[in-house]
Amino acid sequence: MTHIRILVGSVYGGALMTAKAIKQALDTEGYSVSVLENPVLDDITSDAAPLLVCTSTTGQGEVPSNLLPFYIALREQLPQQAGRPFGVIVLGDSSYGDTFCGAGELMEEALHETSARKVGKTLRIDALETLEPENEALPWAREWITAALT
Ligand SMILES: Cc1cc2nc3c(=O)[nH]c(=O)nc-3n(C[C@H](O)[C@H](O)[C@H](O)COP(=O)(O)O)c2cc1C
C-alpha cells in the first residue's frame, strides 16, 4: 500500500480541512495517507514515500507557525531526499499581492534543496475566488499521486 504524508500548515483550519478531505478520498481509493499537523523531520526520514505539502500563507508570505519548525529544521539540516516525489498545495489570498501563496514557494525551495523531485505544478488556491478549497484540491491530488508514482 502506498503511503503518502501530508505536511500541513494552517492558521484558521482551511488547509487542515483540505488535507483531511484529501486523506478521506485517497484512503478510500487504497492509499494510506497520514496528515501531519505538527510535522518534525523524523516523520519524513524513515522512508521515501511521497510528500504532499498542504499549507496556507500567513504574515507576509510566511509559513504558518505549526509548520515553521519543520521548515526551519529542513533548511538547517537539509536531509537528502534524492528523487523523492513531492507536491505543493498552497492556500493564499491574491489581495496580498507579491506575497500571494508565498509559503508554498518557501516549502518548495527548501524541498528542492534536499534534491526531492517536484511532481506536478503547484496548486494555488485563492481565498478571494474559492470558498471550498477541497473542491480544487481533490482532483488535483488524484492526478498528483498518479504522476508521483510513475
Ligand atoms: C494575518 C494574515 C496574513 C496573511 N498573509 C497572506 C500572505 O502573505 N499571502 C497570501 O497569499 N495569503 C495570506 N493570507 C491569506 C491566507 O493564506 C488565506 O486566507 C488562507 O485560505 C488561510 O488558510 P488557513 O485557514 O489554513 O489558515 C493571510 C491571512 C491572514 C489572516
Q: Note down pLDDT in tens along the chain; length 150 residues.
A: 899 999 999 999 999 999 999 999 999 999 999 999 999 999 999 899 999 999 999 999 999 999 999 999 999 999 999 999 999 999 999 999 999 999 999 999 999 999 999 999 999 999 999 999 999 999 999 999 999 998
- What atom of ligand 1 comes closest to residue 9's alpha carbon? 26
49 touches 2 (CB < 8 A): yes
Question: Cell 531526499 maps to which residue?
Answer: 81
- Ligand 1 centroid–CA 58 distance in Å is 5
- What atom of ligand 1 comes closest to residue 18's alpha carbon? 26
Report the predicted TM-score, pTM, of the whole model to 2 decimal places.
0.98
Q: Name residue 38's amino acid.
A: N
Which helix (H) or strand (E) segment is 146 a member of? helix 133-148
Residue range of the domain that includes 70:
3-148
- Ligand 1 centroid–CA 12 distance in Å is 9
Residue 18 Cβ contacting ligand 1 at under 6 Å? no
Q: How many domains does the chain have?
A: 1
Separation between Cα atoms, residue 112 and residue 7, nearest integer Å: 15
The CATH number of whichever domain residue 47 belongs to comes to 3.40.50.360
Residues 57-95: tens digit of each pLDDT:
999 999 999 999 999 999 999 999 999 999 999 999 999
Please give the pLDDT value at position 1. Answer: 81
